[in-house]
Structure 1
């Protein structure tokens, strides 16, 4: 699949996806742990808590979601991020033992998995903005301990557009928009439940 054959700006499906997940997205962003990474008063302990939670999310994505999608998302291996969080936590001298399963349904289909990945990949977009705030924490200057939020670096926009291309092409070929949207809502809600379980 090319990932480029569907014009992104005219995709009605992508508009529907964004609109129908907006409530779940807002609910997740309203949590104190989500807000903490943008707070000027953010402490290193807040940052560690957030990274630890996101490690579980990415580890679960890589274990459960990625195996379903290598034929659809051709650059999937470049989208792995749990190792970046491991590096950051090691720099912060935080020992995380094990991880919690976030996406534990055994009935995940390819379009449902694409919806979950839409949530995960979308979170990388804000990473560059968040990085500016995190870099103000004493000890995190000089890009140390911030590998996760550096993400794709200056290629972040390109990676997002490519993902939307893969997503749109799959939806166009298989007419499975509703299932993708269900997966995305499940993704947001699963992360919300994980964030509120601490």
Structure 2
């Protein structure tokens, strides 16, 4: 996947960001989302958030990834469920059950691309969250933060590569509306998942 400036500046990329902005903001305003960027974050807030995101990534890898296999060349490198499991293990947290997050979707490839756009965007945002959670003594040694570390120093380039792929895919298949619907669905489904288990 190349990252040519002309493709990255695609009008579609602006459209998807604009049309999902409200759903994105709504999700970020939930107490569980706000808790991990708060200076008063507690370790149990962090663990609870990871547990919820494990459900999200488990569903993504089981439902979305199979549709995109062979279409996105570095898809395997974008799996995050194991990273969360490693972090939860470090925190001595045992997850006993999982909730379905994307349970009522009629998945198509463009719709799945939209869901992955949200997941990859959260990886980019996770780098900012990492700065906050790393101030916690138990998490300051680089342990327990695999998920928010994302792709490490390559996080920016992975994001650009995905945006480039998505813009090219949209241009070739003329499916922008369906990709955007998938992204909105992902934001709203994660919101509903978070809200349903508020502590």
- TM-score interval for Structure 1 and Structure 2 normalised by the shorter chain: over 0.9
Taking structure 1 as reference, are residues 106 and 130 closer, same or farther at Cα in structure 2, changes over 3 Å only? closer
Corresponding residue number in structure 1 for 2:170: 171
Check the 8 A contact 1:6/1:168 in 2, yes or no.
Answer: no
Corresponding residue number in structure 1 for 2:56: 57
**What is the root-mean-square deviation in Å for CA atoms of aligned residues?**
1.3
Taking structure 1 as reference, are residues 21 and 106 closer, same or farther at Cα in structure 2, changes over 3 Å only? closer
How many residues are treated as equivalent by the alignment?
A: 197
How far apart are residue 31 of structure 1 and its match?
0.4
How far apart are residue 18 of structure 1 and its match?
0.4
Alignment of 1:1-198 (within 5 A): 2-4=1-3, 7-105=6-104, 107-198=106-197
Check the 8 A contact 2:47/2:93 in 1, yes or no.
Answer: yes
TM (norm. structure 1) is: 0.96
Distance in 2 between residues matched to 1:137 and 1:84, nearest whole Å: 19
Check the 8 A contact 2:7/2:168 in 1, yes or no.
Answer: no
Taking structure 1 as reference, are residues 181 and 32 closer, same or farther at Cα in structure 2, changes over 3 Å only? same
How far apart are residue 6 of structure 1 and its match?
7.5
Taking structure 1 as reference, are residues 4 and 135 closer, same or farther at Cα in structure 2, changes over 3 Å only? closer
Taking structure 1 as reference, are residues 117 and 184 closer, same or farther at Cα in structure 2, changes over 3 Å only? same
Distance in 1 between residues matched to 2:107 and 2:29, nearest whole Å: 27
Taking structure 1 as reference, are residues 139 and 10 closer, same or farther at Cα in structure 2, changes over 3 Å only? closer
**Higher deviation after alignment, 126-135 or 151-160:** 126-135
Check the 8 A contact 1:6/1:169 in 2, yes or no.
Answer: no
TM (norm. structure 2) is: 0.95
Distance in 1 between residues matched to 2:5 and 2:178, nearest whole Å: 19
Q: Could you tell me which runs of 5 or more consecutive residues in structure 2 were left unpaired when the two chains were aligned.
A: none
Distance in 1 between residues matched to 2:47 and 2:7, nearest whole Å: 36
Taking structure 1 as reference, are residues 184 and 3 closer, same or farther at Cα in structure 2, changes over 3 Å only? farther
How far apart are residue 105 of structure 1 and its match?
2.8
How far apart are residue 129 of structure 1 and its match?
1.3
Taking structure 1 as reference, are residues 3 and 178 closer, same or farther at Cα in structure 2, changes over 3 Å only? farther
How far apart are residue 126 of structure 1 and its match?
1.3
Distance in 2 between residues matched to 1:6 and 1:183, nearest whole Å: 25
